[in-house]
Amino acid sequence: MVQEINIALIGNPNVGKTSLFNALTGSRQHVGNWPGVTVEKKTGERRHQGSTIKITDLPGTYSLEARSPDEKVANAHIMSGHPDVVVQVVDSTNMERNLYLTTQLLDMGQKVVLALNMSDMADARGDRLDLKAFSKGWGVPAVRISATRGEGLEDLLDTIISTFKDRSVPSPAVNFGAEIEGNISEVEAMLRSGGAGGTSPRWTAIRLLEGIEKVEEATADAGLRAKLTAALEGVDRDEVEMDLVDRRYVAITSLLDRTYVRGSEKRSLSDAIDRVVTHKYLGLPIFLTMMWGLFELTFTAAQPFVSAIGLGFEWLAAFVVENVQPDWLASMLGDGAIAGVGSVLVFLPNILVMFLLIALLEASGYLSRAAFIMDRIMTKMGLHGKSFIPMLLGLGCNVPAIMATRTIEDEKSRLITILSAPYISCSARLPVYVLLAGIFFPDNAGTALFLLYLLGIVVAVGSALLFRHTILKSETSPFIMELPPYRLPRLKNTILQMWDRGSMYLRKAGTFILAGAIIVWLLASLPWGVEYGSEESLVGAIGHLIEPFLAPLGFDWRIGVALVFGFIAKEIVVGSLGVLYGAVEGAGLEEAIALSMSAPSAAALMVFVLIYTPCVAALAAIRKETGSWKWTLFSVVYSLILAYIAAFIVYQVGLLIW
Amino acid sequence: MTESNNKSALISAAMGLAFIAMGLLEMAAVVIDPSVEIMLYLSSGGNILLALVLLFTGVVLLNAAMRFRNGTDGEAFLVVGCMLALFVGLVVSLTLAASATEAYLFGSEDFVDWSLADDFTPAIPMMIPSLAVLLSALRSFRSTAQEPAA
């Protein structure tokens, strides 16, 4: 008989949950060698031995105390009683810390299977584990696996099914001693008699005794509340909490002493590299060196491919104009669709090179170090340490960056990060930089890119600092960050990750950007009979309406139109420039822009595009994560004002220099 | 100081000084006309950020040399210094390869007068000694798992 088994993948951050999820389901969820990659649950399924195993990948969590939004997601899913079996993914090279979560899952009465991941690395270190005795110790089956190599997965699936079929009730791993166990039993009995405590009254009792959960949250029954309050009166919550932590670690140490011997290394290369790359003075220059190389290559290494694609589109546009009838259709395809989409697609190689390099840095573990270095600087400036990880994610796209703020417990710190993350330059803005830097600063285009991304970080950190000291005053909280070991990136995973992110750009080109280009073409052609793209067309009218506001920045009416359409998606800025400047007769896009713009206005435009309002998707994410239209509107207005001021300064200073 | 440390300190210092010299030349090319004959072959045409990166790589390697002399953590700095040297060399090599493709394969207008000397810098040949030193330094870090006590 076909049966359905619901399992949840849980574990500490960066232990390989998403790698296991991908290996089991064949998905391609984003995997990163740093904590906080998964912030919401993801689902998939796998058939095994005639059973359908439905798998939910939960955000990483060190414990089930549910303090930050992503931990709350994990805790709520387990407490919902939905999973039949909880698979805890354990980092085999760091057993002691990982098993803390196991003790909590067993307190919740969950059926647990331990997937001992990275067992190959533990073997390489010389670790020895008596698997049978280890599994028997707490009555929790354990399987050695390597998610990235796909080893041990069949064993794991067999164990999940046998655990599901096992009728025995799991027992807690830790005995907290007569006094605390007495208190737990008393509170648990009260909860059971009142029908409270959800799927695990023992776990609720523990949380009440620790003071993590309030009586009002545990039950709505006034009588039961009174009883619980009386029972908890006189209990020193802090002492209980510390005692519970101690007892859990005593139980873990006792189990590991009996079953596990840790290998030893002569000297760790990972630690040695960290001593330099996280060095007080050298850490930041090393980070800047990596970023310089990244953007230098993003521009230069991709250029031959950009040229090849550009030649292809030029040929296609000429072919369409010569061979398609009627003329309006040829114009729509040639001047609108191909000029618009082509001018964006031509930069796909730059995007792919950038994503490839970011994926390599991420998979190697270096980005965690970058976050660590920036965290030190940000904490010194009074900002929340966890803020930089979402910001780093923003290099790809601001939407996941905004969502990644769920790892931040403090609401004000989270809001500050949400509002400042969009200033980290996403890949959608890259085509604008590559186009303009290539035209106006050809010998230093890579340097220009590097400086723009650096400016993005400065604006994001500066804005966060401003918010913290003005409208969102709050204290910073300490942030303990775990540095994962360096790993040699796997080529297949790196290429897949690059392609997943790059294909998003392609999909946008075929949808938003194509639609935007055709709308701009239509506005440039209406009313019928006017010269295409002229000042008499509708687009000319819109452009002239905005032009007086943008003139102090050195922008003409065409740039104004492109910026308006860039509200939808930043890639449309280049697409619109392609349609509008393509209309300048006898010149290619680059020549047309070079004729119509100066170096100071190009520099001002790049800065404006970097800072001005987040795209529609990012705004939707801000609205969703803040739950507030007020903050969403604030984000638009603040960024527009800031962009205007910054571009004005750049243009005016540029006029003095160039 | 042991003989091995002495040798490592010398190698680190030599490499560090070479990178400092390259950085200064690249910096000089920013202010002096980069088309001057000597500049043409020793710099990539005056890229200030490349100059800073070369100088910084030199600083890390010189730091390794000093640490070898003091007996503290020299290998770590040497390994990172060599990695940086390889990284810079790789960036410059790929830039050169991309420019060559543009010039010779596509015949791009912007690359009509381009020659290998335009993008060549000594950071490219320096990749060879950097790789050799890195591999040698890494040998001392090889994990030697001891047999655990039962």
Q: Are residues A15 and A92 part of one domain?
A: yes
Nearest by CB to A304, from B87, B105, B144: name it: B105
Is residue A470 classed as helix, strand or coil in its secondary structure? coil
Instruction: Answer yes or no: do B102 and A307 touch at CB < 8 A.
Output: yes
Does B145 map to a domain? no
Does B141 map to a domain? no
Nearest-Cα distance to chain B for A174, in Å, is 26
Q: Are residues A215 and A113 part of one domain?
A: no
Cα-based distances in Å from A33 to A116, A192, A288: 17, 43, 20
Q: DSSP secondary-structure letter at A551?
A: G
Q: Are residues A112 and A220 part of one domain?
A: no
pLDDT for the residue A623: 92
Alpha-carbon dihedral A423, A509, A323, A519, rounded to 10 degrees: -70
Write the Ramachandran bin of A554: left for phi over 0, alpha for psi from -120 to 50, otherwise beta: left
The token pair at A543 is 């452009």
d(CA A470, CA A466): 6
Instruction: Answer yes or no: do A265 and B143 touch at CB < 8 A.
Output: yes
Long-range interactions of A501-504: CB distance < 8 A, separation 24+ = A501/A351, A501/A355, A501/A359, A501/A396, A501/A397, A501/A427, A502/A348, A502/A351, A502/A352, A502/A355, A504/A397
Whether A203 contacts A109, CB under 8 Å: yes
We report the CATH number of the domain holding residue A92 as 3.40.50.300
Residue A585, CB-side half-sphere exposure with 13 Å CA sphere? 3
d(CA A281, CA A278): 8
d(CA A106, CA A203): 9
How much of chain B, in percent, has pLDDT values that exceed 70?
84
Question: What number is the average pLDDT over the span A360-376?
Answer: 85
Across A363-386, b (16+ Cβ under 10 Å) vs e yields: bbbbbbbbbbbbbbebbeeebbbb
| Window from A193-207, A232-246, A346-360, B21-35 with minimum mean pLDDT | B21-35
Cα-based distances in Å from A549 to A543, A611, A614, A646: 10, 17, 20, 14
What is the complex's ipTM, to 2 decimals?
0.91
Closest by Cα among A386, A420, A384, A385 to A402 = A420
Contacts of residue A344, defined as CB under 8 A and 6 or more positions apart, other chains included, come to: A431, A509, A513, A571, A572, A574, A575, A578
A624 and chain B in contact, CB less than 8 A:
no
pLDDT at A262 over 60: yes
Which is more confidently placed, A136 or A572? A136
Question: What number is the average pLDDT over the span A395-424?
Answer: 84
Domain assignment of residue A206, given as a range: 178-235
d(CA A652, CA A594): 19
Closest by Cα among A43, A51, A46, A54 to A85 = A54
pLDDT for the residue A385: 63
Q: Are residues A154 and A57 part of one domain?
A: yes
Does A416 map to a domain? no
Q: Are residues A8 and A47 part of one domain?
A: yes
pLDDT for the residue B43: 65
Does B147 map to a domain? no
Stated pTM of the model: 0.74
- Chain B residue whose CA is closest to A357: B91
The token pair at A290 is 């990596």
Nearest by CB to B76, from A261, A275, A292: name it: A275
pLDDT at A607 over 70: yes
Q: Are residues A198 and A124 part of one domain?
A: no
pLDDT at A156 over 50: yes
Q: Are residues A140 and A17 part of one domain?
A: yes
Does A287 map to a domain? no
**Helices marked H in chain B — which ranges?**
3-31, 37-42, 48-70, 74-100, 116-119, 127-139
Is residue A5 classed as helix, strand or coil in its secondary structure? strand
The token pair at A131 is 């698997």
- B86-126 pLDDT, tens digit each: 999 999 999 999 999 988 888 877 788 888 888 888 899 99
Q: Are residues A159 and A209 part of one domain?
A: no
pLDDT at A34 over 60: no
d(CA A557, CA B49): 35
The answer to whether the peptide bond before residue A170 is cis (omega within 30 degrees of 0) is no
Domain end residue (candidates: A235, A260, A284): A235
Domain assignment of residue B39, given as a range: 3-136
Cα A130–Cα A131–Cα A135 angle in degrees, nearest 5: 120
Q: DSSP secondary-structure letter at B104?
A: I
- A246-257 pLDDT, tens digit each: 899 999 999 999
Instruction: Answer yes or no: do B145 and A124 touch at CB < 8 A.
Output: yes
Does B95 map to a domain? yes
Q: Are residues A156 and A78 part of one domain?
A: yes
Instruction: Answer yes or no: do A307 and B140 touch at CB < 8 A.
Output: no
pLDDT at A617 over 70: yes
One-letter identity of residue A69: P
Whether B130 contacts B15, CB under 8 Å: yes
Chain A residues near residue B88 by CB distance under 8 angstroms: 289, 293
Does B44 map to a domain? yes
Chain B residues near residue A301 by CB distance under 8 angstroms: 94-95, 97-98
pLDDT for the residue A102: 95
pLDDT at A115 over 80: yes
pLDDT at B145 over 80: no
Sign of CA dihedral B110, B115, B121, B125: positive
Question: What number is the average pLDDT over the span B26-46?
Answer: 69
Rounded mean pLDDT of chain B?
A: 84
Residue A113 confidence class, pLDDT cut points 50, 70, 90:
very high
Whether A524 contacts A561, CB under 8 Å: no
Size of interface A-B (CB pairs under 8 A): 110
Q: DSSP secondary-structure letter at A511?
A: I
Which is more confidently placed, A130 or A575? A130
pLDDT at A379 over 90: no
| Window from A153-167, A228-242, A463-477, A582-596 with minimum mean pLDDT | A582-596
pLDDT for the residue B127: 96
Chain A residues near residue B106 by CB distance under 8 angstroms: 304, 307-308, 311
Counted domains in chain B? 1
Nearest by CB to A304, from B45, B47, B106: name it: B106
Q: Are residues A141 and A107 part of one domain?
A: yes
d(CA A471, CA A194): 45
Nearest-Cα distance to chain B for A390, in Å, is 26
Cα A506–Cα A508–Cα A512 angle in degrees, nearest 5: 145
Tell me the sheet residues that pair with B63: none
Rounded mean pLDDT of chain A?
A: 85
Does B101 map to a domain? yes
pLDDT at A171 over 70: yes
Domain end residue (candidates: A120, A141, A165): A165
Alpha-carbon dihedral A147, A153, A155, A158, rounded to 10 degrees: 130
pLDDT at A28 over 70: no
- A508-563 pLDDT, tens digit each: 777 877 888 888 888 888 887 777 777 788 888 888 899 999 999 999 888 998 99
Counted domains in chain A? 2
Does B103 map to a domain? yes
Does B105 map to a domain? yes
Q: At what angle do helices A201-210 and A178-193 cross, to 10 degrees?
A: 120
Centroid of chain to Cα A454: 19
Chain B residues near residue A263 by CB distance under 8 angstroms: 145-146, 148
Cα-based distances in Å from A645 to A462, A547, A602, A642: 15, 16, 15, 5
Interface residue of A120, A257, A269 to substitute, partner B, most B CBs within 10 Å = A269
Residue A60, CB-side half-sphere exposure with 13 Å CA sphere? 24
d(CA A555, CA A50): 65
| Window from A152-156, A304-308, A343-347, B22-26 with minimum mean pLDDT | A343-347
Residue B40 confidence class, pLDDT cut points 50, 70, 90:
low
Q: Are residues A224 and A78 part of one domain?
A: no
- Chain B residue whose CA is closest to A127: B148
Cα-based distances in Å from A474 to A210, A405, A468, A594: 26, 16, 6, 48
Residue A454 confidence class, pLDDT cut points 50, 70, 90:
very high
Chain B residues near residue A353 by CB distance under 8 angstroms: none
